[in-house]
Amino acid sequence: MSKFSDDIMNKYIFSRFIPSKDVVVGPGMGIDVAITRLKDKMFLISHLDPIVGAIKRIGWLAVHIACNDIATSGTKPSWALPLILLPEQWDEKMLDEITQDILIAAGETGVSVIGGHTGYAPGSLKPLVAITALGISDGKFITAAGAKNGDVIVITKGAGIEGTAIIAEDFVDILKEKQINQDIIRKAKGYINDVSIIPEALIMRRYANAMHDATRGGVMEALLEIASASGVDIEVYRDMIPVREETKIFSEKLDFDPLWMISSGALVISLSESKVEEALQLLRNSNITASYIGKVKEGKGELLLHEENKQKLYKKPMPEKDELAKLWQSYPRT
């Protein structure tokens, strides 16, 4: 449920898959999408993502999460190919729910399902859904590697959005044991409706130098991956990073750091300081909350976090650090 370290990825993945000349952006740490030239000003934007950290609504989540990554390039997602692997003990109701959820999410994101694969995996205990999402760019695209010295960092919505919704759905028995109020759990379940970052990513296409969806590893990992991919340092302040009240309550009761909790729905943006006010106003006009949280400096891919009266320096991405994975280990689900 977590990712491999950058050392493992470099050793076994990035060093072995060398893109051909028509690949503009290929595999790399912190890079959300692959970008392939089709002809002069037409590029294929593609991404593959699995959902393994949730049980309920995994088909819906899978479509939205994969389409989010396409949107981080400033491109509208157009097509999706689902992989649905059911557990050994599967039934038609399970398949019905997953495919209905995919259908609903496809309508919400505006993508067409054009193929895929469906089956079951002997020995597996729970379903897995992975989506390949695709879109076409006219030549204007953004990656996580574009942050520049002097940029400012903006985040939409808040930290831990997706993780909070998953906890409210899949860990409700634990939340009740922790005596968390039912109204809080209900509000947290509603966070699922905020996981799409397509609207803000398409708005920010005009302004952003780099964008990254805060998935596994949360806001902190997204910041580290932007810093690493761009070859810059990023400096942020914990008390400026928005965390919703329900997320704070869950984090206190279940002992996790919301800044490292899976945060689909939070778009991390690096943009020129001169464009910030105009961009933030456009987001507000679309009822999308956004906050300034830090700045970009010359450097070598490090992240400095200011919190209270101390500072923490992170020198490279930490994809293996994932708070939702820790919760699944502490409170196994079936």
pLDDT digits (tens, 9 = 90+) for 237-265: 999 999 999 999 999 999 999 999 999 99
**CATH number of the domain residue 121 falls in:** 3.30.1330.10
Quick one: pLDDT at residue 332?
Answer: 82
Residue 283 is assigned to a structural domain of this protein: yes
Q: How far lies 245's CA from each of 119, 155, 171, 273, in Å?
A: 40, 17, 18, 29
Quick one: pLDDT at residue 325?
Answer: 87
C-alpha 295/C-alpha 149 separation (Å) is 8
- CA 210 from centre of chain: 14
- Check whether residue 213 and residue 267 sit in a common domain: yes
Among 66-80, 270-284, 317-331, which is the least confidently predicted range? 317-331
Task: Answer with the residue of higher pLDDT: 89 or 151.
Answer: 151
Give me the residue label for tokens 């993780």: 163
- Check whether residue 65 and residue 106 sit in a common domain: yes
Residue 14 is assigned to a structural domain of this protein: no
- Check whether residue 126 and residue 227 sit in a common domain: no
- Check whether residue 322 and residue 244 sit in a common domain: yes
Structural domain ending residue among the three candidates 137, 171, 204: 137
Structural domain ending residue among the three candidates 77, 104, 137: 137
Q: Could you tell me if 218 and 323 are in contact, meaning their C-beta atoms sit under 8 angstroms apart?
A: yes
Count of domains forming the chain: 2
Quick one: pLDDT at residue 28?
Answer: 83
Residue 279 is assigned to a structural domain of this protein: yes
- Check whether residue 165 and residue 120 sit in a common domain: no
| Residue 110 in tokens | 């505006």
Residue type at 155 in one-letter notation = I
3 state SS of 243 = coil
Tell me which H or E stretch contains 321: none
Any idea what the Cα angle at residue 302 is, between residues 242 and 219, rounded to 5°? 25
> Which band of pLDDT confidence, cut at 50, 70 and 90, is reported for residue 2?
low
Helix 323-330 to helix 161-170 angle, to the nearest 10 degrees? 20
**CATH number of the domain residue 294 falls in:** 3.90.650.10
Residue 264 is assigned to a structural domain of this protein: yes
- Check whether residue 164 and residue 288 sit in a common domain: yes
Quick one: pLDDT at residue 334?
Answer: 61
> Which band of pLDDT confidence, cut at 50, 70 and 90, is reported for residue 84?
very high
Residue 145 is assigned to a structural domain of this protein: no
Domain of 237 in residue numbering reads as 152-330
- Check whether residue 129 and residue 198 sit in a common domain: no
57-83: per-residue pLDDT in tens? 999 999 999 999 999 999 999 999 999
C-alpha 158/C-alpha 245 separation (Å) is 10
C-alpha 43/C-alpha 53 separation (Å) is 31
Structural domain ending residue among the three candidates 137, 171, 200: 137
Measure the CA dihedral 165/167/172/176, to 10°.
Answer: -110
Helix 245-254 to helix 182-189 angle, to the nearest 10 degrees? 120
The DSSP call for residue 111 is: P
Question: Is a pLDDT exceeding 60 seen at residue 219?
Answer: yes
Residue 293 is assigned to a structural domain of this protein: yes
- The pTM of the full predicted model, rounded to 2 decimals, is 0.92
Residue 190 is assigned to a structural domain of this protein: yes
- Check whether residue 282 and residue 256 sit in a common domain: yes
C-alpha 156/C-alpha 78 separation (Å) is 23
| Residue 69 in tokens | 């990554």
C-alpha 1/C-alpha 268 separation (Å) is 22
- 20 CB-contact burial (10 Å; exposed 0-12 / middle 13-18 / buried 19+): exposed
Task: Answer with the residue of higher pLDDT: 309 or 158.
Answer: 158
C-alpha 218/C-alpha 196 separation (Å) is 15
Residue type at 301 in one-letter notation = G
- Check whether residue 198 and residue 66 sit in a common domain: no
- Check whether residue 168 and residue 119 sit in a common domain: no
- Check whether residue 62 and residue 118 sit in a common domain: yes
Residue 26 is assigned to a structural domain of this protein: no
Nearest residue to 127 (alpha-carbon basis) of 97, 172, 167, 154: 97
Residue type at 223 in one-letter notation = L
- Check whether residue 132 and residue 157 sit in a common domain: no
